[in-house]
A and B are shown apart, each in its own frame.
Chain A
Amino acid sequence: MPSPPSPVPPGTLEMLILRTLDLEPMHGYAIAQHIHKLSKDALKIEEGSLYPALQRMLAKGWVTAAWKTSATNRRTRVYTLTAAGRKQLGVEKAQFDAMFGALSRVMKGIRP
């Protein structure tokens, strides 16, 4: 039995969405599902934060949205990464790597 899913760490939601959309354009529900599955059910995206985050990213021009009809014949709003979004993903990933590296060095007690 895995531990109950926890919300994503603060500040990483947008990076996770960007990374997800970098694979392929998808709609909001699919983004949440994708992150949930890929984290082996460890991360749970709250709808209450997902949609405001998507709106923020639309406003910043990182993603674009378009209404499409899905395979199950349902109207969904599909988000696509823009060039600006891809650039932002690079920036966030670099920041994350730096931060993650620093954290793990501290936790492992490695001297620089």
Chain B
Amino acid sequence: MLHRVRALFRRQQIDADLQEELRSHHDEITQALIDDGVPADTARRQARLRLGGAAQIRETSRDAWSLGWIETWLRDLRLAARALRRQPMFSVAAIATFALGIGAATAIFSVAYGVAFRPLPYPAADRLVRIYEANTATNESTLDVSQGTFQGWREGAASLAHAALYSKGATQYLAGANPQPMQTMAVSPRFFDVLGVAAAMGRTFKPDDQYTRFTAREIVLSYGAWQRLFGRDPAIVGKSISIVDNSKPIEVVGVMPEDFAFENVDAFQPKPIELPVAKLLRSWHYDRAIARLAPGATLTQLRGELDAVSTRLAEAFPATNGGWKATVVPMRDAVIGQFARASWLLVAAVAAVLLVACANVAGLLIARAMGRARETTIRVALGAGFWRIAQLWFSEALVLAIAGAAVGVGFAWLLVRTLRATAPTGLPRVDDITIDLPVLAVTAAATVASAIVFALAPLAGLRRRAHQGGVRADTDRTGDTPTRRRLSSALVAIQCAAALGLVVLAVAFTRSFLNLAAVDLGWRPERILSLDVAPRLVSPDGRPWFLYHLWSDALIARLEATPGIEHASVVTDVPFGPFQYTAEVAAGPEPRPNETRWPIALHSVMPEFADVLGVQVVHGRRFTDTDAFSQAVITSAARPAGVAIVSESLARKMWPEEDALGKQLHLPGQDQSPWREVVGVMRDAQFREVGADPSFDVYVPWKQFTTGRPRLIVKTTADPAAMAPAVRAAVLAENPATIIDRVIPVETLYRQATSQPRVTSQLVAALGGLALALAGVGIYGALSTLVHARAREIAVRMALGATPAHTWRHTLKTGLIPVLAGTIAGAGLSMLLVAAVRSLLFGVSGVDAWSFAIAAAATLVVALIACAEPAWRAARTEPLRILRGE
């Protein structure tokens, strides 16, 4: 078989060899005869007779290399390619149209596949789940997990093969002359068992009970970190590294495989779970839980078991577990979450674009079939059956489709490259977006399917003609059969319907995004620069908090004296940034049994915070410089009560119908103050998700809740990115050893947080535009063909007295009827579409009159423009010239 395929490419060589061989054979016979004493010319004649027809031998020999039907087919493809080359205008139009459709489809599918459909990089990843805690009081279902409750799950749920906890990632700095930032994550030792991935070098962590807070001095590197930070040191395992702010050496015990990735983490550290302590930690919802289902276990089973555990825990520990349940989400949904639906939507949208492109090319092929009616008639007359012609036309369709796909994949490659370069960092798994084998397989399948559609369209008209047999004159010569005419109209209607559906979606998504962009955040993200600042403040007694207060005061004063800076504040977290403190709050100074606790986001801020973000205290007062613990307080062990500001929604929840001012609250287990008095109520602000329900926020003064890894937010008068060097200089002037990281404008973070709706709306809008443009071209092509095919009919009508105006109207009507039918069908279709994606839309109701009106108007205007020119051409028909041309 292989020989024969190879032989395809050197047919001529084979034939030439054979010819020479036969000549040589002829010479041998001649020589033999001469040797026997036959005269030379007689010998030559006899030899020629013996060899018989050399041509026939060659012909028979050629069959030896035949590949049967494949060869016939390849011949057809060559024939088709030649035929298409003869009509370059048609071919370029068809190839370009299909290339746009298939290119867009390939690009979008590779995005959707990379982001949402590609399996996670872990073995049997469909068995992985994330488990969250859910609070029935606040109706939040995906909260972080407490260690005590997690232990309860592990002991009570038989459906769990392995379960592990991990912390939110953190940035640490590799000690050295130039401290390198490194994304680290503390994971409980079973973490890698859950994911089912072993180290590529060395090992991962040892089973659970081996680590305590004091002995957990091991680290596992990601392949990327090993490459980037340690220059692929082959002997890294066993070496010790040290981390800034952490004097004790840490041993590298392993390096993960290259294809392993988890939330962009560079290095994993063991998270010791000391059972006796962990069981007490039921109200610290700090950790994230991941688990692998036991073989044969189902999600439903696991949910049932966890419900039972939750009920038991709530009875045993009403103070900490009352009102808490567990939520199980497949890992895949947790990772790609909001992107899955958007991905399906985009795939559906691009399939619609491809449909429009296919209908368009099918229309072109029908036009072409009409144009070559005479050729077909001759073929039929010469004995070509329906299937023979079908095969030939399918070959042509396939050549077009393959050429279009080749151009389209190139186009998609460019698109994907651009998309990856400009992709918002909020998009998960951006690096997984490539045009690779699975994507190309889908493209190939779509291409062949499209070719079948292309080929079927003109064939529909052929069936009847094949029966008619003979060479009929007139309409036959234009191939303008009723079947084809109906089909052509149907194709126009399909294009209109699909285009309208997409345009409705595009309008709906654009409006949704505009709504989202117009959401009042409760603060203003413009002109704010944010950065991580870790100053090195050395204090002899190991309690450097007071130094931090001195540092922050001096730094803010220095920054606010810098030209171009309006305000600055040290904070513990930045809006839409990482490091959110999640905690719980309860009313009253003392914890009480069965108290209601509200999950909140905790923000430790300086008074200037309100100026930087533009948040407003609507009731009570803002923080002042006197909201601080003194040096005396800090150096003593005792902690006095502090103050707090709460968000409006939280105030309403905690003290309905009452004034929150003067009320007391406590943050169980994690505050630097036993309880706090509410001194102000802040306007609700959206710091995490735009357009979400108002979150509950508690603000505490920085000098009553100080941490060593603060962040800095700076309000500038102009472009915040341009102020980065000045801010950096000021920070280093204040404390030269400060590690600065993640210098980024808050507006950029905000844009990242809204990347999914933005990207979705932009892509849907682009696809809608593309579909509309293609449909316009398709409508134009169909009507042009019709006018051309009916030139004679029009000429006769006009010769009989039809005016140009009448002809214009008549042609326009002919063109617009399928458009109207398609528009009506499209309206129905888009109702369904919008209803199906309602959950992705923000502030746009399912049946949205405006979107429909705008989209229908756009479609009709495009259709009208597309029909006007052919109609005008029809109206200018000069009857005499056409009729004489017979």
Chain A residues packing against B (C-beta within 8 Å): 27-29, 46-48, 51-52, 54-56, 58-61, 65, 67, 72, 74-77
Question: Residue-by-residue, is B13-49 near A (CB-CB < 8 Å gives 1, otherwise 0)?
Answer: 0100110111011011101000000000000000000
Kindly identify which residue among B21, B53, B64 contacts A28, using a CB–CB cutoff of 8 Å.
B21
Task: Contact check, B24 vs A52: say whether CB atoms are below 8 A apart.
Answer: no
- Chain A nearest CB from B24 CB (Å) reads 6
- Residues of B contacting A61 in the complex (Cβ-Cβ under 8 angstroms): 2-3
Give the complex CA separation of A96 and B632 in angstroms: 111
With A55-B64, A58-B64, A77-B17 known as contacts, the answer to whether A47 contacts B28 (CB < 8 A) is: no
- Chain A nearest CB from B828 CB (Å) reads 59
Give the complex CA separation of A67 and B20 in angstroms: 10
- Residues of B contacting A77 in the complex (Cβ-Cβ under 8 angstroms): 17, 20-21, 24
- Chain B nearest CB from A54 CB (Å) reads 8
* B139 contacts partner chain A, Cβ-Cβ < 8 Å: no
With A59-B65, A61-B3 known as contacts, the answer to whether A48 contacts B20 (CB < 8 A) is: no
Task: Contact check, B24 vs A51: say whether CB atoms are below 8 A apart.
Answer: no
With A56-B64, A59-B4, A65-B17 known as contacts, the answer to whether A48 contacts B57 (CB < 8 A) is: yes
A60 nearest in chain B by CB position: B3
- Residues of A contacting B27 in the complex (Cβ-Cβ under 8 angstroms): 74
* B137 contacts partner chain A, Cβ-Cβ < 8 Å: no
Kindly identify which residue among B2, B3, B21, B31 contacts A51, using a CB–CB cutoff of 8 Å.
B21
Task: Contact check, B65 vs A55: say whether CB atoms are below 8 A apart.
Answer: yes
A77 nearest in chain B by CB position: B21
Task: Contact check, B64 vs A52: say whether CB atoms are below 8 A apart.
Answer: yes
- Chain A nearest CB from B410 CB (Å) reads 37
- Chain B nearest CB from A39 CB (Å) reads 18
B57 nearest in chain A by CB position: A51
Extra contacts besides A51-B18, A51-B57, A59-B65 (9): CB < 8 Å: A27-B21, A47-B51, A48-B56, A52-B60, A55-B62, A55-B64, A59-B4, A67-B17, A75-B20
Task: Contact check, A59 vs B56: say whether CB atoms are below 8 A apart.
Answer: no
Give the complex CA separation of A72 and B53 in angstroms: 26
Give the complex CA separation of A65 and B16 in angstroms: 13
Tell me how many residue pairs across A and B have CB atoms closer than 8 Å.
63
Task: Contact check, A59 vs B7: say whether CB atoms are below 8 A apart.
Answer: yes
With A52-B57, A52-B60, A75-B20 known as contacts, the answer to whether A47 contacts B65 (CB < 8 A) is: no
- Residues of A contacting B28 in the complex (Cβ-Cβ under 8 angstroms): 29, 74, 76
- Chain A nearest CB from B615 CB (Å) reads 81
* B61 contacts partner chain A, Cβ-Cβ < 8 Å: yes
A47 nearest in chain B by CB position: B51
- Residues of B contacting A55 in the complex (Cβ-Cβ under 8 angstroms): 14, 18, 61-62, 64-65
Give the complex CA separation of A28 and B21 in angstroms: 8
* B593 contacts partner chain A, Cβ-Cβ < 8 Å: no
- Chain B nearest CB from A43 CB (Å) reads 16
A-B contact pairs, 26 of them (CB 8 A): A27-B24, A28-B21, A29-B24, A46-B52, A47-B22, A47-B52, A48-B57, A48-B60, A51-B18, A51-B60, A51-B61, A52-B61, A52-B64, A54-B61, A55-B14, A55-B18, A55-B61, A55-B62, A58-B64, A72-B31, A74-B24, A74-B27, A75-B24, A76-B28, A77-B17, A77-B24
- Residues of B contacting A65 in the complex (Cβ-Cβ under 8 angstroms): 17
B29 nearest in chain A by CB position: A29
- Residues of A contacting B7 in the complex (Cβ-Cβ under 8 angstroms): 59
Give the complex CA separation of A56 and B65 in angstroms: 7
* B50 contacts partner chain A, Cβ-Cβ < 8 Å: yes
The residue among B4, B28, B52 with the most chain A CB atoms within 10 A of its own CB is: B28
Closest 10 CB pairs of A and B: A55-B64, A55-B61, A56-B64, A29-B28, A52-B60, A77-B21, A52-B61, A59-B64, A29-B25, A51-B57
Give the complex CA separation of A111 and B57 in angstroms: 46
Give the complex CA separation of A48 and B57 in angstroms: 5
- Residues of B contacting A74 in the complex (Cβ-Cβ under 8 angstroms): 24, 27-28
Task: Contact check, B65 vs A28: say whether CB atoms are below 8 A apart.
Answer: no
Give the complex CA separation of A27 and B63 in angstroms: 21
- Chain B nearest CB from A99 CB (Å) reads 25
How many B residues have CB within 8 A of the partner chain? 28
Give the complex CA separation of A56 and B18 in angstroms: 12
From 152 to 201 in chain B, residues with beta carbon under 8 angstroms from any chain A beta carbon are none
Task: Contact check, B51 vs A52: say whether CB atoms are below 8 A apart.
Answer: no
Task: Contact check, B3 vs A47: say whether CB atoms are below 8 A apart.
Answer: no
User: Which secondary structure characterizes the binding site on chain B?
Assistant: helix
Give the complex CA separation of A48 and B51 in angstroms: 7
- Residues of B contacting A54 in the complex (Cβ-Cβ under 8 angstroms): 61
A46 nearest in chain B by CB position: B52
Question: Residue-by-residue, is B88-123 near A (CB-CB < 8 Å gives 1, otherwise 0)?
Answer: 000000000000000000000000000000000000
Task: Contact check, B24 vs A76: say whether CB atoms are below 8 A apart.
Answer: yes
A53 nearest in chain B by CB position: B64
Task: Contact check, B21 vs A58: say whether CB atoms are below 8 A apart.
Answer: no
- Chain A nearest CB from B391 CB (Å) reads 25
Give the complex CA separation of A47 and B61 in angstroms: 11
- Residues of B contacting A72 in the complex (Cβ-Cβ under 8 angstroms): 31
Give the complex CA separation of A55 and B21 in angstroms: 12
- Residues of B contacting A58 in the complex (Cβ-Cβ under 8 angstroms): 3, 64
A76 nearest in chain B by CB position: B24
The residue among A48, A67, A72, A75 with the most chain B CB atoms within 10 A of its own CB is: A48
Give the complex CA separation of A27 and B168 in angstroms: 79
B50 nearest in chain A by CB position: A47
- Residues of A contacting B61 in the complex (Cβ-Cβ under 8 angstroms): 51-52, 54-55
Task: Contact check, A47 vs B57: say whether CB atoms are below 8 A apart.
Answer: yes
A28 nearest in chain B by CB position: B25
- Chain B nearest CB from A91 CB (Å) reads 18
- Chain A nearest CB from B141 CB (Å) reads 66
- Residues of B contacting A28 in the complex (Cβ-Cβ under 8 angstroms): 21, 25
- Residues of A contacting B62 in the complex (Cβ-Cβ under 8 angstroms): 55
The residue among A54, A61, A77 with the most chain B CB atoms within 10 A of its own CB is: A77
Give the complex CA separation of A100 and B264 in angstroms: 75
Give the complex CA separation of A61 and B6 in angstroms: 12
Give the complex CA separation of A75 and B56 in angstroms: 23
- Chain B nearest CB from A59 CB (Å) reads 5
Give the complex CA separation of A13 and B120 in angstroms: 60
- Chain A nearest CB from B50 CB (Å) reads 6
- Residues of B contacting A76 in the complex (Cβ-Cβ under 8 angstroms): 24, 28
Question: Residue-by-residue, is B53-81 near A (CB-CB < 8 Å gives 1, otherwise 0)?
Answer: 10011001111110000000000000000
Give the complex CA separation of A51 and B64 in angstroms: 10
- Residues of B contacting A47 in the complex (Cβ-Cβ under 8 angstroms): 22, 25, 50-52, 57
- Chain A nearest CB from B186 CB (Å) reads 63
- Chain A nearest CB from B197 CB (Å) reads 46
- Chain A nearest CB from B57 CB (Å) reads 5
Give the complex CA separation of A51 and B52 in angstroms: 12
- Chain A nearest CB from B60 CB (Å) reads 4
Task: Contact check, B52 vs A48: say whether CB atoms are below 8 A apart.
Answer: yes
- Residues of A contacting B4 in the complex (Cβ-Cβ under 8 angstroms): 59
The residue among B4, B18, B56, B63 with the most chain A CB atoms within 10 A of its own CB is: B18
A54 nearest in chain B by CB position: B61
- Residues of A contacting B3 in the complex (Cβ-Cβ under 8 angstroms): 58-61
Give the complex CA separation of A72 and B24 in angstroms: 12
B21 nearest in chain A by CB position: A77
Give the complex CA separation of A29 and B33 in angstroms: 13
B53 nearest in chain A by CB position: A48
- Chain A nearest CB from B380 CB (Å) reads 35
Give the complex CA separation of A88 and B22 in angstroms: 26
Give the complex CA separation of A62 and B554 in angstroms: 91
- Chain A nearest CB from B49 CB (Å) reads 11
- Residues of B contacting A46 in the complex (Cβ-Cβ under 8 angstroms): 52
- Chain A nearest CB from B752 CB (Å) reads 61
The residue among B50, B51, B61 with the most chain A CB atoms within 10 A of its own CB is: B61
- Residues of B contacting A60 in the complex (Cβ-Cβ under 8 angstroms): 3
From 767 to 813 in chain B, residues with beta carbon under 8 angstroms from any chain A beta carbon are none
